[in-house]
Structure 1
Amino acid sequence: MDAALDVAALVLVLLGALLCLSAAIGLLRFRDVPTRLHAATKPQVLGLIVICLAIALSLRSWPVVAFLVPVVLIQLATAPLSAHMVGRQAYRNGTIADRNLYVDELAESRQTPPAAGG
């Protein structure tokens, strides 16, 4: 049983490393902000979760699991928030091409500045 759990942990570490590598390659290769945000958040967070699961399987200790749960929860809380903030700032700066947007929910805010009170 221990050997099977070690093999599963090894496979999960390799899978997590591949996901994190694909996120890094996506950050370098993609051209526009929305696709880079996708590469920076989704595969990277999933890779971290898979690696944390592999660590928990490998060490088989409840204190380790108790340490890894907040790490995963903080990552799940901060990655979407930071991606949202970067996306909003890119929209405000005009670095997101309007032709790439299917629905522009912030079009009114572009016409009226936020501090104008309108």
Structure 2
Amino acid sequence: MTIDAWLDLSALILILAGAILCLTAAIGLLRFRDVLTRLHAATKPQVLGLILICIAIALSLRSWPVVAFLLPIVLIQLATAPLSAHMVGRQAYRNGTIDEPNLIVDELADSRRTPPAAGG
């Protein structure tokens, strides 16, 4: 087998693995019942799946301009997915729409007792 065939095979495997991870993220969004587990399902496998698919595209096309195009996509995804998940989780905590009995550690319990404008 030539090096091109090996690169194509590895790209195929990476695309398949990335697609499976993205599919599990979508299934997790539909199946999980509370906000925190849905956020976990939406961020972790989806970001890894996108990274695997971008690596597969770069291996398949073997072009530096393609890598230069895909690199900002991966970096923006790595920056925005955790930030948006944190914001949604924080708002769900403030609204009281999370499953509090299942929280092992509640680091925000003190901030809930003190109103935000109370200064304390």
Q: Same fold (TM over 0.5)?
A: yes
* 1:17 is the counterpart of 2:27: no
Q: Distance in 2 between matches of 1:97 and 1:12?
A: 36
* 1:90 is the counterpart of 2:105: no
TM-score, with structure 1 as normaliser: 0.97
Q: Distance in 1 between matches of 2:43 and 2:65?
A: 27
* 1:66 is the counterpart of 2:86: no
Q: Per-residue deviation at 1:15?
A: 0.7
Specify the alignment match of 1:114 in structure 2: 116
Q: Distance in 2 between matches of 1:113 and 1:59?
A: 55
Specify the alignment match of 2:49 in structure 1: 47
Quick one: percent identity of the two aligned structures? 83
Count of matched residue pairs = 118
**Partner SS state of residue 19, structure 1:** helix
Flag structure 2 segments of 5+ consecutive residues without an equivalent.
none
Q: Distance in 1 between matches of 2:32 and 2:80?
A: 22
Q: Distance in 2 between matches of 1:107 and 1:19?
A: 34
Structure 1 residue aligned with 2:5, among 3, 6, 22? Answer: 3
Q: After TM superposition, where is structure 1 displaced by more than 2 Å over at least 4 residues in a row?
A: none
